[in-house]
Structure 1
Amino acid sequence: MRKIDILDFKGSYYDVGLAHGRMINQSLHYQSMLSGFKENLSLEQNTKEIKNTLKVFCPNLLDELNGLQEGLKYTESDALKLFGGYDMPILEMGCTSFITSDYYVRNYDFSPLIYDGSFVIQRHKENDWTCGNSELVVGRLDGMNHNGLTCGLHFVNNDLHKKGFIGSTIVRIVLEMCKTVEEALDLLKELPHAASYNYSLADRYGNFAVFEASPEKTNTHREKESLSCVNMFQTDKMQSYNRANVYSSLERMEALSQISKSQKPVREVHNWFSDQASPVFYTDYEHFFGTLHTVSYVPKLNKVLLTAPGDEPNEIIF
């Protein structure tokens, strides 16, 4: 099982991209993964459209992509198509989150063959940072920023795939551009969504929500005490966009209902998520459904707990 590298970058967005690209050139895992993407995926996007869309929603990412391109010695076209996160094929990932006003706990389930295995910290100025588990270098599967805003993705369906941002790029844009759950909800309504995803959210002020997004329609799901989020839409307005088979999601929702009733502290919930005997921990790695990390974000304390399968939690405090 691939362990998780904690990468801590400082400097401008260009500097971070440059350093990250140079590091990737020394990584056999990254080189193998990216080579497979370039060979097996049809990346025929319009690079001018990618640049123009990023300029509208998150121009800092263009600076980072420029540095990444230089560090990798890629062409601008290859860098934009592979890492820009726009109009790309969708990866069908499994994810489970449990959120309260105090913490956000999450498992990410997929294949170790298509997994960055990197928890990236970016420090651009004093008290200006983001952190999170990366996908395709620039994207984030989940993360938190210096304002305490936390966001993670949950794949739901790919049947209505349209031109738009992939989920991990959307998470990254939210972390770059927003300070609170309310700001994130407003931005998520404006972004072009390529496929159906849940975006689970929490902030430093005790707010939490799940934004249900399809390319056609969106909705916001809230509860008073806690929220559980899996790979299906829960509100009546959005259930017609779910896949036909949501059995695994229903199983996890039932297990999470017991956690909701117990009101356990974050460390206990984190340990339950990362326990291989837990009903929310999966080991079907050959079929792209194995737990690759457990992460807990505590926005009020700027604290993160991160666990790879079989390891002890790694505590990171900002």
Structure 2
Amino acid sequence: MRKVDVLDFRGSYYEIGLAHGRRLYNSEHFQSMLSKIKGISILDQDTEEIKNILKYFCPQLLDELKGLQEGIKYTESDVLRLFGGYDMPLLEMGCTSFITSDYYVRNYDFSPNIYDSTFVIQRHHGNNWICGNSELMLGRLDGMNHNVLTCGLHFVNNDPHKKGFIGSTIVRIILEMCKNVEEAIDLLKDLPHAASYNYSLVDRNGSFAVFEASPDMTNIHREKKSLSCVNMFQTGKMETYNQTNVDSSLDRLEALSHLSKTIKPVSEVHKWFSTQTSPVFYTDYEHFFGTLHTVSYVPKTYKINLTSPGGETQVISM
């Protein structure tokens, strides 16, 4: 299993996109992953529409895409279609998280063949930074920003599927544009959602929530002491959007229910998530359901713990 590389970039969005692209240009893993993505990508995406909607919601990402384009030596059209994160086919991915007012612990489950294997830190002017596990270079599977807002995605269903942003681009936009959970919820209400996802959130003030989003309807899920989030909607308002078979999610919720009864320190929860015998750790990599990383975000201390399967934990201080 590939270790997650921590990439620490500093500069403008364009400069960081360029540096990231140059690093990827000669990467065999990147080229292999890209060939798989091209095989399922939509060829008739409207690139002007992609540019306009990114400009409206998060214009700085267009500068980063320009740098990425130069770094990997692709056309603007190809970069927008492959990495813009709008009107794209959606891949099913598994994710489990446990959230309290003090920390956010999460496993990401998918295939190592379509996985960036990079945790990207972007430092811009002043104290403006974001960090997180990368998907398709521009997107984030989970992450934290300089306001110490943390957000992660959890796939729920591709049916219905409408024109909109994919989950990892939505996470990135939230991290770029929001200071706290309430701002994130307001923006999530406005963003066009291509499919059904949970977005788990926590901020420096100890506010936490799960935003349940489908292309047609949204809802907010809150609890007092902790929240467990998996690949299904848990509120009655949204349950009709769940897939028919949610057995795996129900199993994980049952396992997580024991954590909610006695809140443990983040180090213990992280270790439990990352242990391969844990009920929330999966190894079915051939069928796109293997744990690829365990990550813990601790907003009040600006620290992140990141563990690849079978590897040692990397401690990142922001």
TM-score under structure 2 normalisation?
0.99
Q: Check if 1:132 corresponds to 2:127.
A: no
- Aligned partners of 2:21 and 2:69 also within 8 Å: yes
Aligned residue in 2 for 1:43: 43
Q: Check if 1:89 corresponds to 2:81.
A: no
How do 1:1-318 residues align onto structure 2 when only pairs under 5 Å count?
1-318=1-318
In structure 2, how many angstroms separate the alpha carbons of the residues matched to 1:90 and 1:77?
A: 19
In structure 1, how many angstroms separate the alpha carbons of the residues matched to 2:221 and 2:233?
A: 9
Question: Match of 1:250, as an amino acid?
Answer: L
In structure 2, how many angstroms separate the alpha carbons of the residues matched to 1:69 and 1:270?
A: 37
In structure 2, how many angstroms separate the alpha carbons of the residues matched to 1:92 and 1:206?
A: 30
- Aligned partners of 1:160 and 1:215 also within 8 Å: yes
- Aligned partners of 2:98 and 2:256 also within 8 Å: yes
RMSD (Å), alpha carbons: 0.7
Deviation at 1:41, TM superposition (A): 2.6
Deviation at 1:40, TM superposition (A): 3.6
Deviation at 1:263, TM superposition (A): 1.0
In structure 1, how many angstroms separate the alpha carbons of the residues matched to 2:74 and 2:154?
A: 30
Question: Match of 1:196, as an amino acid?
Answer: S
User: What are the ranges of 5 or more consecutive residues in structure 2 without an aligned counterpart?
Assistant: none
% same residue: 76
- Aligned partners of 1:43 and 1:82 also within 8 Å: no
Q: Size of the alignment, in residue pairs? A: 318
In structure 1, how many angstroms separate the alpha carbons of the residues matched to 2:43 and 2:241?
A: 26
- Aligned partners of 2:42 and 2:81 also within 8 Å: no
Deviation at 1:36, TM superposition (A): 2.1
In structure 2, how many angstroms separate the alpha carbons of the residues matched to 1:176 and 1:285?
A: 31
Find the residue that maps to 1:133 and give its secondary structure.
Answer: strand
Task: Note the alpha carbon deviations across 1:269-302, whole angstroms, 9 max, x for none.
Answer: 0000000000000000011000000000001111
Task: Note the alpha carbon deviations across 1:30-55, whole angstroms, 9 max, x for none.
Answer: 01111221234333210000000001
Deviation at 1:127, TM superposition (A): 1.4
Deviation at 1:166, TM superposition (A): 0.2
- Aligned partners of 2:123 and 2:129 also within 8 Å: yes
Task: Note the alpha carbon deviations across 1:242-290, whole angstroms, 9 max, x for none.
Answer: 0000000000000000011121000000000000000000000011000
- Aligned partners of 1:150 and 1:175 also within 8 Å: yes
- Aligned partners of 2:40 and 2:89 also within 8 Å: no
In structure 1, how many angstroms separate the alpha carbons of the residues matched to 2:215 and 2:122?
A: 30
Runs of 4+ in 1 over 4 A off after TM superposition: none
TM-score under structure 1 normalisation?
0.99
User: What are the ranges of 5 or more consecutive residues in structure 1 without an aligned counterpart?
Assistant: none
Question: Match of 1:167, as an amino acid?
Answer: G
In structure 2, how many angstroms separate the alpha carbons of the residues matched to 1:94 and 1:112?
A: 13
In structure 2, how many angstroms separate the alpha carbons of the residues matched to 1:249 and 1:39?
A: 29
Deviation at 1:26, TM superposition (A): 1.9
